[in-house]
């Protein structure tokens, strides 16, 4: 019969071995890279939400311009509704289909906003409106923040994907059930480019 001291010693050795194997197989590295991707995604999501929150004020301001093209406004409203209707949570970074759906919806909103800004150029009264200029400045700043957040996310995913595919960290990835994640692509022409806002 084993003594209590030998049982405790055996458990201690087992814990040390598991810890050594976990760190040796990259388990902890995978955890760190996984958390970095989630943090980068949270920033992307936050900046897209910021843009979505600006759209109703922008639409209301533009509605005040006489004879403004209704189709352009409707397109922006519909694109915003579609972009905000997609259920976004941290699990989206592991679901290529949902990720692509989210990216396409955001690309459509970017394109609609670009058209709205282009049409607004034909309305001198609107362009000189302080409210419109303020919203355009906020939108431009938000688009720049989106581009920066997307860039950070792409870098975090690249780092993560490299980690889960290389030895020995690929062992830690398999233990955690982690695999390669999707990242942003240029699915919409100039989707990652901030709309150019010009005032006279």
How confident is the model at residue 2, as a pLDDT?
A: 59
Q: Region 161-169: what's the mean pLDDT?
A: 93
Q: Region 22-40: what's the mean pLDDT?
A: 86
Q: Region 148-155: what's the mean pLDDT?
A: 96
Q: Is the pLDDT of residue 191 over 60?
A: no
- What is the tens place of the pLDDT at every residue in 36-85? 999 999 999 999 999 999 999 999 988 888 788 889 999 999 999 999 99
Q: Which residues lie closer than 8 Å to 10 by C-beta, 6 or more apart?
A: 2
How confident is the model at residue 1, as a pLDDT?
A: 52
């Amino acid at each position: 019969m084993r003594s209590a001291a030998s049982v405790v010693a055996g458990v201690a050795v087992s814990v040390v071995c598991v810890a050594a194997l976990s760190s040796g197989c990259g388990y902890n590295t995978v955890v760190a890279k996984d958390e970095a991707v989630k943090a980068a995604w949270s920033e992307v999501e936050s900046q897209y939400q910021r843009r979505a929150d600006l759209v109703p004020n922008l639409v209301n301001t533009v509605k005040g311009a006489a004879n403004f093209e209704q189709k352009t406004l409707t397109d922006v409203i519909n694109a915003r509704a579609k972009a905000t209707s997609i259920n976004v949570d941290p699990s989206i970074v592991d679901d290529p289909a949902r990720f692509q759906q989210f990216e396409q919806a955001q690309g459509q909103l970017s394109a609609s906003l670009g058209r709205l800004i282009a049409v607004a150029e034909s309305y001198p009264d609107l362009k000189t409106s302080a409210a419109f200029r303020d919203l355009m400045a906020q939108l431009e700043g938000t688009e720049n923040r989106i581009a920066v957040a997307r860039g950070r996310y792409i870098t975090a995913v690249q780092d993560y994907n490299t980690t889960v595919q290389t030895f020995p960290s690929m062992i830690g990835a398999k233990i955690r059930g982690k695999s390669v994640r999707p990242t942003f692509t240029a699915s919409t022409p100039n989707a990652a480019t901030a709309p150019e806002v010009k005032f006279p």
